[in-house]
C-alpha cells in the first residue's frame, strides 16, 4: 500500500480534550466594555498554555526576523537563509523572560528575511530591496493586529530585515518600541572574512587561487553560526544607525551573536520598553530631526554602507519626518571625517566585533560630542539623552572591560579601531560619501569615496580616471567579462557601465558580485564601475552607483556605447566630483553626442522581473524614487490614481 494511505492506530486520534484549568480574571467592566476580540484574545492566550491568572498583564510584542529551525543544542533541523536570523530566537526568549519578570505578557511573531549574499548574481536579487517595504507593511500589520500591545521589541540583524523593522517601529510611533540588533558573527581564526570569500569564483576563474584554496576558504568563513557579517556592510551599518537614532539601548550594535553580552541586550531592551511605558514615552519621542542628524553623522564617522542613503530617508518617512536628501548627506559628510577603521574600509580593516569591543557607537558618539557635532539632547529608548549616556561612558566598567578584552584577546589597541579624529586625519582617512554629478548623472550619483584603493588616488587626494566604456545591460554579462569568460575580457583601464539595473529595470539590484571581484582581482583597482544599480555595504573601489535618472527613466547613461570615453573625477577632500562622457574628437561635443543618440538598443526591463517588483518600482517612483528612499508616498500615489477619474 502507498505510504500515504497506511493505516493508523485509531486510539491515537483524539476528538476532544479537557481544556485549560482555572478561570479567567474577568470583571463586570471587562465584560461590558471590552470588545469581543479582546476577550477572545484572553481565551486564546490560556489555550496556548499561559497562566490565566496572568493574562491581564501589559502586553508586549517581540517581533523578529527569525529564520530556520534549531534543535535545543543549536544544530540545524531546517536551515535559515543566513546566520543573521539563525540565532535571534535566543534574543526573543531572553526578552520574553524579562517581560515576565515585570509581570507582563510576551507575544512573539516572526517575519523572516532574505540574504543578499545568497542572492548575489541571481534572480533573487530582484526581490531584495522591494522586500524591505513589503516586510515593513507586514510587520506593522502584525503590530496592529495585537490591539492591546503597549510596546514592541523588534529583533533583527541584516540588510533588509533590520531597515524594515526600523520602518515598522517608526511607523507605530505611539508605542514603547525598542530595537534589539542581532549582532555579528565572528571572523575565523584563520581564513577569509565573509566579504572576501564571496569572490572565490572570480579569483579561481582568473587563475588567482586554486580549487583547494577556494574550497577551504568557502567553508570556514563564518567563525560562529549566528549574527551579521564581519564587515561594516548594510547589516552592520543598519545596527549602528539604529543605535545612533536612539532606537536601542546603549552599546547594542555589533555585539557578538550567541554570547552572554549579546543575550543581556535583549533583557535590557525589555527593561527599556517597560520603562518607556512607565514614563509615558513612545518611539515618537525618540525619532526626531536631531535623531536623524545623529544617524547621518555617525554613519559618516564610521564609513557606513551607501545603502543607508535609501534606508534613513525611508525610516524618516515612516516616522512622519522630513526625509534627508543628498544635499543633507553631502553637508554632513563635509562636516565630519571618518575615524573608524573597520572592514571594508582601511587602513587595516578590522572586523565588526573589534569595533564593538573598542567602544562601538557610544565611543564614536563621544568623539563627535568632543567635536561639538553631536545633537546631545536627543533622547534614547534607555530614558537618557546622549549627553547623559556619554557623561557615564568614558569611566564605565563596560567600556573598560570590552577595550581590555580587545587588547588581551587580539592584541589590538582600541584606539587603532576607533581613532581620535585628529589621528585619523593625520593618517589620511577621508570623509565617507561623495555625490558626483555630470552629463551621465544630472540628478546625481553616489560613491563611497573612502573605500577607493589609496594607490590609485593622486597626491592631492583626488581620484582621476579616463577610460573606455564597456557597456552591459545585465550583471550576468558583466561578471562573465570580468571573469574572462567572454571576449573581450575586462582589463585594467576599462570603465564598466552597467545600465538598466535601477528600480524600474530590475528592482535596483545590488551588484556586489562585480564590486567584490574587482577588489580582489589583481587588476581590479584599475577598473571603474558606473551604474544605476546599487552596491553592497562591503563594496569598495571606484564604484559609482545610484546614477540618476536611471537608464529606463530616460537617463543619459542609457546612451553610452562601447568605446566611449568616460571621465571620472572624485575629490575626496571637497566631496565633489563628476562622471562625464567626453568627446573623443572635435566633430561633436559630448552634449551633442548624447542629444543625437537614442537609448542603447539592448536596454530593456529585465524579462524575469517579478510582477511584484514591477508594482513596487512604479509605486516607489511616485514616492520620490531612489533619492527619496524608495518609499510609498500614499498621498501622492492616490493623487495620481484619481487624477483623471
Q: How far apart are CA 349 and CA 608, in angstroms?
A: 37
Nearest residue to 315 via CA among 339, 286, 349, 292: 292
Query: What b/e sequence results for 73-92 when a residue is b if at least 16 CB atoms lie within 10 Å of its CB, and e otherwise?
Result: eeeeeeebbbbbbbbbbbbb
Alpha-carbon torsion angle 476, 132, 260, 83, nearest 10: -30
The whole-angstrom separation of Cα 52 and Cα 24 is 5
Q: Which cell goes with 183?
A: 549582532
Locate 367 and state its grid cell: 568623539
d(CA 255, CA 268): 14
Query: In degrees to the nearest 10, what's the CA dihedral of 550, 554, 560, 561?
Result: 120
- DSSP letters of 296-363? HHHHHHHT--TTHHHHHHHHHHHHTPPPP-HHHHHHHHHHS---B-BTTSSSS-B-HHHHHHTTHHHH
The catalytically annotated residue of 128, 221, 474, 536 is 536
Closest to 523 (Cα-Cα) out of 481, 564, 560: 481
Q: Which of 446, 457, 430, 427 is nearest to 303 (CA)?
A: 430
The grid cell for 511 is: 551588484
Length of the chain: 645
Of 179, 149, 198, 151, which is closest to residue 252 (Cα–Cα)? 179
Cell reading at 538: 562591503
If DSSP codes are grouped into helix, strand and coil, which group holds residue 592? helix
H or E stretch including 102?
none
571 to 8, 334, 434, 459: CA distances (angstroms): 75, 12, 8, 11
Note the Cα 447 to chain centre separation in Å: 17
Task: Retrieve residue 186's grid coordinates.
Answer: 565572528
Alpha carbon distances (Å) from 415 to 350, 407, 425, 516? 12, 10, 14, 28
Who's near 8: CB < 8 A, 6+ residues apart?
A: none
Answer whether the bond into residue 335 is a cis peptide, omega within 30°.
Answer: no
- For residues 75 and 170, what is the distance between their CA atoms, to the nearest angstrom? 35
> Across the strands, what pairs with 568?
465, 579
Q: Is 189 one of the annotated active-site residues of the chain?
A: no
Q: Give catalytic residue positions.
A: 536
Amino acid at each position: 500500500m502507498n505510504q500515504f494511505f497506511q493505516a493508523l492506530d485509531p486510539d491515537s486520534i483524539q476528538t476532544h480534550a479537557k481544556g485549560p484549568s482555572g478561570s479567567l480574571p474577568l470583571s463586570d467592566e471587562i465584560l461590558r466594555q471590552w470588545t469581543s476580540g479582546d476577550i477572545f484574545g484572553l481565551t486564546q492566550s490560556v489555550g496556548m498554555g499561559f497562566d490565566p491568572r496572568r493574562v491581564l498583564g501589559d502586553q508586549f510584542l517581540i517581533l523578529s526576523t527569525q529564520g530556520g529551525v534549531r534543535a535545543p543544542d543549536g544544530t540545524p533541523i531546517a536551515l535559515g537563509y543566513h546566520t543573521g536570523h539563525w540565532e535571534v530566537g535566543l534574543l526573543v526568549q531572553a526578552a520574553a523572560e524579562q517581560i515576565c519578570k515585570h509581570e507582563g505578557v510576551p507575544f512573539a511573531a516572526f517575519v523572516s528575511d532574505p540574504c543578499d549574499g545568497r542572492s548575489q548574481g541571481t534572480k533573487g536579487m530582484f526581490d531584495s530591496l522591494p522586500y524591505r517595504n513589503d516586510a515593513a507593511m507586514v510587520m506593522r500589520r502584525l503590530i496592529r493586529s495585537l490591539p492591546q500591545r503597549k510596546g514592541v521589541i523588534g529583533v533583527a540583524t541584516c540588510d533588509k530585515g533590520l531597515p524594515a523593522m526600523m520602518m515598522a517601529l517608526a511607523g507605530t510611533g505611539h508605542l514603547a518600541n525598542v530595537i534589539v540588533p542581532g549582532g555579528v558573527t565572528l571572523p575565523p581564526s584563520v581564513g577569509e572574512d565573509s566579504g572576501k570569500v564571496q569572490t572565490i569564483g572570480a579569483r579561481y576563474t582568473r587563475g588567482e587561487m586554486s580549487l583547494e584554496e577556494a574550497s577551504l576558504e568557502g567553508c570556514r568563513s563564518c567563525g560562529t553560526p549566528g549574527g551579521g557579517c564581519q564587515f561594516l556592510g548594510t547589516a552592520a551599518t543598519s545596527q549602528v544607525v539604529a543605535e545612533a537614532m536612539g532606537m536601542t539601548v546603549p552599546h547594542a550594535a555589533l555585539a557578538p551573536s550567541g554570547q552572554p553580552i549579546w543575550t543581556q541586550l535583549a533583557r535590557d531592551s525589555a527593561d527599556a520598553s517597560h520603562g518607556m511605558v512607565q514614563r509615558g514615552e513612545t518611539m515618537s519621542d525618540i525619532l526626531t530631526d536631531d535623531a536623524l542628524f545623529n544617524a547621518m553623522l555617525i554613519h559618516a564617522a564610521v564609513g557606513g554602507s551607501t545603502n543607508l542613503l535609501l534606508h534613513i530617508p525611508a525610516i524618516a518617512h515612516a516616522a512622519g519626518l522630513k526625509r534627508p536628501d543628498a544635499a543633507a548627506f553631502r553637508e554632513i559628510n563635509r562636516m565630519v571625517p571618518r575615524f573608524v577603521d573597520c572592514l571594508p574600509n582601511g587602513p587595516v580593516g578590522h572586523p565588526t566585533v573589534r569595533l564593538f569591543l573598542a567602544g562601538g557607537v557610544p565611543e564614536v558618539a563621544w568623539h563627535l560630542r568632543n567635536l561639538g557635532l553631536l545633537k546631545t539632547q536627543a533622547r534614547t529608548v534607555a530614558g537618557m539623552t546622549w549627553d547623559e549616556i556619554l557623561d557615564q561612558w568614558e569611566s564605565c566598567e563596560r567600556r573598560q572591560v570590552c577595550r581590555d578584552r580587545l587588547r588581551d584577546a587580539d592584541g589590538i589597541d582600541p584606539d587603532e579601531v576607533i581613532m581620535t579624529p585628529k589621528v585619523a586625519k593625520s593618517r589620511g582617512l577621508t570623509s565617507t560619501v561623495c555625490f558626483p554629478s555630470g552629463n551621465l548623472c544630472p540628478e546625481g550619483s553616489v560613491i563611497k569615496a573612502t573605500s577607493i584603493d589609496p594607490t590609485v588616488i593622486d597626491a592631492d587626494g583626488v581620484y582621476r580616471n579616463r577610460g573606455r566604456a564597456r557597456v552591459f545591460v545585465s550583471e550576468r554579462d558583466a561578471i562573465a567579462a570580468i571573469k574572462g569568460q567572454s571576449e573581450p575580457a575586462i582589463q585594467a583601464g576599462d570603465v564598466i557601465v552597467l545600465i538598466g539595473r535601477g528600480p524600474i529595470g530590475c528592482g535596483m539590484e545590488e551588484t556586489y558580485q562585480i564590486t567584490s571581484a574587482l577588489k580582489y582581482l589583481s587588476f581590479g583597482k584599475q577598473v571603474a564601475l558606473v551604474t544605476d544599480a546599487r552596491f553592497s555595504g562591503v563594496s569598495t573601489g571606484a564604484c559609482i552607483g545610484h546614477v540618476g535618472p536611471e537608464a529606463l527613466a530616460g537617463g543619459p547613461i542609457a546612451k553610452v556605447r562601447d568605446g566611449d570615453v568616460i571621465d571620472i573625477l572624485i575629490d575626496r577632500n571637497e566631496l565633489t566630483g563628476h562622471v562625464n562622457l567626453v568627446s573623443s574628437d572635435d566633430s561633436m561635443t559630448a552634449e551633442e553626442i548624447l542629444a543625437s543618440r537614442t537609448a542603447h538598443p539592448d536596454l530593456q526591463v529585465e524579462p524575469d522581473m517579478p510582477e511584484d517588483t514591477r508594482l513596487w518600482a512604479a509605486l516607489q517612483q511616485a514616492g520620490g524614487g531612489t533619492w527619496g528612499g524608495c518609499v510609498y508616498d500614499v498621498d501622492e500615489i492616490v493623487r495620481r490614481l484619481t487624477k483623471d477619474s
